[in-house]
Chain A
Amino acid sequence: MFGRGRKIAPYLFISPFFIGYAIFFLYPVIQSLQLSFYRQVGLNKAPRFIGFDNYVRLVTKDDLFIKALTNTTYYALGSILIIVPLALLLALILHSPKLRLREFFRFLYFTPNITAGVVVGIIFGLVFEEQYGLINNLLLAPLGIDNVRWLREARWVMPAVILLGAWKWTGINAIYFMVGLQNIPPELKEAARVDGATRWQVFWHVTLPLLRPILAFVLTIAIIGSYNLFAEPAILVGLEGGPNNAGMTMTMYLYTRGFRELKMGYASAIGYSLAVIILVLSVVQLVLIRAFRED
């Protein structure tokens, strides 16, 4: 089929992928940008050009968009603040040389990550149940804390989603950090110890700075993952986001406007806003990580 032609062979090898990529990715990316300057409701209505109106409305008049943006950012910050230190702690422990059952723990911590978002949402519906849920009964009651109305009260919805996120993502991030720790040459730490550094100093001045690339990777994944969040909150509190839309995320909002109300132009504008936010956050994060290198 490919003959002997070494000249055309590479093009034949790469063309199925690139044809598919053009049709199913590049074209939609461009089409979506164009659509975001139009008003189109429903599939068969003709789109009407409205310039930047969709974007202006999103930022100035759409409280629900702002809410979804705030919720998602809350989730991103909250989950990162829990996940990164915990994952680092677990990685340091799992990395220690004489540990028994290392493979067991590593695999167990990782399993939430391969569980479907819908399944996680279902399980955590029971975890956060107000009267008979696991958290209220097994964790909080022994401490003498009254039932928290996790999914019923607006201010507790996002903390619940953040805890779910921590459950799902801490393990895999611990594995990333473990890979980072394995790549640090042991001689560096030994040299520091020989020079009289305490364990804490070695961690702070040798280990942590060398983990910076992994940290950048972990943060980037966390940011992207936050703005992709859909299945878990959709199952946990419903697509409307629960009480006072407190659990509405950006992707849920895009889904609601685009595929329930069929506001094609508006949903495209939401998609592009999302892309810009992710891009900006990723760049800011990389710059920050680099800045810390100076000291």
Chain B
Amino acid sequence: MRLAISRPADSTERKSLYMKLVEATIVYAILFFFALLVGIPFLYMFTGSFKTNGQLFSWPVNLLAPEPTMNNYERLLSGEEIPYLRQMGNSVVIAVSQSALTLLFASMVGWGFAKYEFRGKTFLTIFLLFTFAIPFQVTLVPLFQMIVRLGLLDSFLGVILPSSVSAFGAFFMRQAMVSIPQELLDAGRIDGASEWGLFWRIGIPLSRGALSILCVLVFLAAWNDYLWPLIVLRTPENFTYPIGLATLDGLYKVEYGMILGGAFIATLPIVLIFVAGRNQILDNLTIGAVKQ
């Protein structure tokens, strides 16, 4: 019946070539306009890192760098103002350890919830969901006091530990692991595998996809974090790169080219990771964003 009704009353079928052309022009004009709005600030960051202060602050504004200088990068990487290479290294250490710890805790608790029945399971699930809604700002002051009392002020551990228990990660891994077939586990048990062995040899390998997404999300959050490292870290040698860039920004004589160079070096690896895994990551974003 449907077929009979759908005569070319459908206006799109009748649209003239001219109208289609107009429509396509508008669509791509909008898309490219927004692409420029997004892209130009990035371009300006990149080219600005090859400019002197005088070139940056001059008329007319030039989006390119006609007379590029490497001076900014040389001075930034030689550690003249701040130990930037070291701060980048600190960020790597912190982000990698935080990702590893979060993944371990999250996959274990996710496995426990996905594959076992135990007393208190429902209660703990609901409890976790409720506390999930509490914003992290509430915890900042007592966490800081705790870090001071534990002697972890100005240490990486002080940054890493509190951020490594992610309720979001727990839910995320539970969702990923719940679909692993029970028969695999039963077969494993018959073969004499321990419960830990089942988790390590079946659970982990079969949820590699979810683990890699969670890993990217946690790494990204840790790499870009500013507030908590700013509270914990106290000496320039221990700073992460965002704090380092912020101190450069606050210097009496602001060296904008250097700051832009630092910002570019710190952003590049993140963008490359996302270019490599863009489809898998973007398609899973709706789950990922619940974290914020």
A-to-B contact residues, CB < 8 Å: 1-7, 9-14, 16-18, 20-21, 23-29, 31-32, 35, 43, 89-90, 93-94, 96, 99, 101, 103, 105-112, 114-119, 121-127, 129, 131-134, 137-138, 167, 170-172, 175-176, 179, 193-194, 196, 198, 217, 221, 224-225, 227-228, 230-231, 234-235, 238, 250-251, 254-255, 258-259, 264, 267-268, 270-272, 274-275, 278-279, 282
Contact = CB atoms under 8 A, between A and B. Distances in A.
A206 B199 CA distance: 45
B60 A137 contact: yes
B184 interface: no
23 contacts: A4-B194, A6-B116, A7-B118, A9-B116, A10-B121, A13-B199, A24-B161, A93-B30, A93-B31, A107-B275, A108-B35, A108-B38, A116-B223, A119-B242, A122-B249, A125-B249, A137-B61, A217-B289, A224-B135, A225-B292, A259-B144, A275-B135, A275-B137
B139 A29 contact: yes
Interface in B227-244: 227, 230-231, 242-243
Contacts of A250: 137
A216 to B, nearest CB: 13
B17 interface: no
A27 B134 contact: no
Contact of B134 (A110, A167, A275): A275
Contacts of B108: 13-14, 16-17
Contacts of B34: 90, 105, 109, 170
Of B117, B138, B148, most buried by chain A (CB within 10 Å of CB) is B138
Contacts of B83: none
Main secondary structure of the interface of B (DSSP, over half): helix
Contacts of B79: none
Contacts of A93: 27, 30-31
Given A16-B109, A43-B145, A167 B131 contact: no
A176 B139 CA distance: 29
B58 A132 contact: yes
B80 interface: no
B196 A2 contact: yes
Interface string B83-123: 00000000000000000000011101101110011100100
Nearest to A115: B267
B170 A122 contact: no
Contact of A89 (B30, B57, B61, B271): B30
A18 B124 contact: yes
A258 B228 CA distance: 13
Given A10-B118, A235-B246, A29 B131 contact: yes
Interface bracket on B: 35 or more
A267 B140 contact: yes
B271 A114 contact: yes
Nearest to B254: A125
Interface in B39-72: 39-42, 44-45, 48, 56-61
Interface string B262-288: 010011001100110011001001100
Given A107-B275, A176-B285, A254-B140, A127 B41 contact: yes
B41 A167 contact: yes
B155 interface: no
A43 B10 CA distance: 73
B178 interface: no
Given A106-B282, A118-B242, A264-B145, A274 B165 contact: no
Nearest to B278: A107
Contacts of B251: none
B175 to A, nearest CB: 15
A204 B44 CA distance: 39
Contacts of A24: 139, 143, 146, 161-162, 164-165
Contact of B142 (A27, A123, A126, A274): A27
B126 interface: no
A20 B5 contact: no
A112 B203 CA distance: 35
Q: Which one of A90, A116, A171 has the highest number of Cβ atoms from chain B below 10 Å of its Cβ?
A: A116
Contacts of B220: 114
B165 A20 contact: yes
Contacts of A117: 224, 226, 242
A183 B176 CA distance: 20
B41 A274 contact: no
Contacts of A279: 133
A176 B289 CA distance: 9
Contacts of B131: 25-26, 29
Contacts of A132: 56-59, 61
Given A109-B38, A115-B224, A268-B138, 13 more contacts: A13-B111, A14-B112, A17-B106, A17-B165, A126-B256, A137-B60, A176-B285, A194-B2, A221-B289, A221-B292, A235-B246, A251-B137, A275-B135
